[in-house]
Structure 1
Amino acid sequence: MSTDHGHHLENPDKSGPPPKIEVIGSVADAPPPPEGAEAMTILVTLPPKSPGAPPHRHSGPAYGYVIKGAINFELEGDPVRVVRAGETFWEPGGDVIHYQDGNHLADEESAFVVTMFCAPGQPMLTVVEPEELEARRDRRAPRS
């Protein structure tokens, strides 16, 4: 994080302690949302062993926070990583394929909250067809 995002709020009425503000994730040089974007925040709950959504993309950037459990997260060109409760993730949207967002746990639910900035008139999520996945196979990070 290159910018100091620390915050301290005075409490003028002194009826209780001031709120604690803690930065839990930050994205330097984040892509701007599409012009006229609709921002939406959704809660995704994944049952044990759920693979999540099929490979897809978003029309704008998305920023998320895992609130429970752990998820497998994979964007085109990056290796799969596990994002655990209390950790954040983001994706730039646009042409980048989001390969995985499934539950990492076989015996517990996992859940995350994500805010997406969708281009006007576009769906929140567009599934990538198998033919395109095959054509872009060389862009996917090696899998172990």
Structure 2
Amino acid sequence: MSIDQAHAHQLESPDKSGPLPKIEIVATVPGAPPAPEGAEAMTILVTLPPDSPGAPPHRHSGPAYGYVVKGAINFELEGEPVRVVRAGEAFWEPGGDVIHYQDGNHLADEESAFVVTMFCAPGQPMLIPVSPQELEARRDRRAPRA
């Protein structure tokens, strides 16, 4: 069964005067981690100026799901190689004890923007910077870089 079949939605409109919406699956995350108990869901829009490095290495207290609305971003999680996520594509990260190394603008001459929904543990900030000492201690967990 394809993703589209597994997540198909049947819509019937009581107002027959207009067309039904088009629904497209952009991404799914099988086995995604649950949100922390009592989590606050927060959706933010991040706009990156041309050539912006984005946030410094950090982690989130819960999972985060995002969608690039304009441009392209460099996306790197601990243990995974850097990948470029382009407008119209989605990304996710599990949160918790996983370092998010990069979320910078891949483009040197255009803005890029993404929307992300995070599930933050109560009393925790949405973004927790990682110290240089911890980055060094976990150096072996970062995927090789070109």
SS in structure 2 at match of 1:103: coil
Q: Distance between the aligned counterparts of 2:115 and 2:16, measured in 1?
A: 33
The alignment partner of 1:138 has SS state of: helix
2:21 corresponds to: 19
| Corresponding residue SS for 2:21 | coil
- Listed as ranges, the matches of 1:94-113 within 5 Å are 94-113=96-115
- SS of 2:134's equivalent in the other structure is helix
Distance in 1, matches of 2:42 and 2:30, equals 21
Structure 2 segments unaligned to the other structure (5+ residues): none
In structure 2, how many angstroms separate the alpha carbons of the residues matched to 1:136 and 1:6? Answer: 42
Asked if the contact 1:6–1:22 (Cα under 8 Å) also holds between the matched residues in 2, the reply is: no
Q: How does 1:1-144 map to 2 (within 5 A)?
A: 1=3, 4-144=6-146
Tell me if the contact between 1:67 and 1:86 (Cα under 8 Å) persists in the aligned partners: yes
- 1:21 deviates by 1.1
Equivalent AA in structure 2 for residue 109 of structure 1:
E
Moved over 3 A (4+): none
User: Displacement of 1:14 after TM fit?
Assistant: 0.3
Counterparts of 1:34 and 1:12, CA distance in 2: 38
1:8 to partner: Cα distance: 2.8
Percent identity of paired positions between Structure 1 and Structure 2: 83
TM-score (norm 1): 0.97
User: Taking structure 2 as the reference length, what is the TM-score of the superposition?
Assistant: 0.96
Amino acid at match of 1:57: R
* CA deviation map 1:45-65 (0-9, x unaligned): 000000000000000000000
In the alignment, the residues of structure 2 paired with residue 2 and residue 13 of structure 1 have an alpha-carbon distance, to the nearest angstrom, of: 25
Structure 1 residue runs without a partner (length 5+): none
Name whichever of 114-123 and 10-19 sits farther off. 10-19
The SS at the match of 1:63 is strand
How many Å apart are 1:6 and its aligned residue? Answer: 1.8
How far apart are the structure 1 equivalents of 2:43 and 2:15? 32
CA pair 31-135 structure 1, distance change in 2 beyond 3 A: same
Residue 3 (structure 1) shift: 6.8
Q: What is the RMSD of the two structures over their aligned residues, measured on CA atoms? A: 1.1
Q: How many residues align?
A: 144
- Closer, same or farther: CA 39–123 of 1 in aligned 2, 3 Å: same
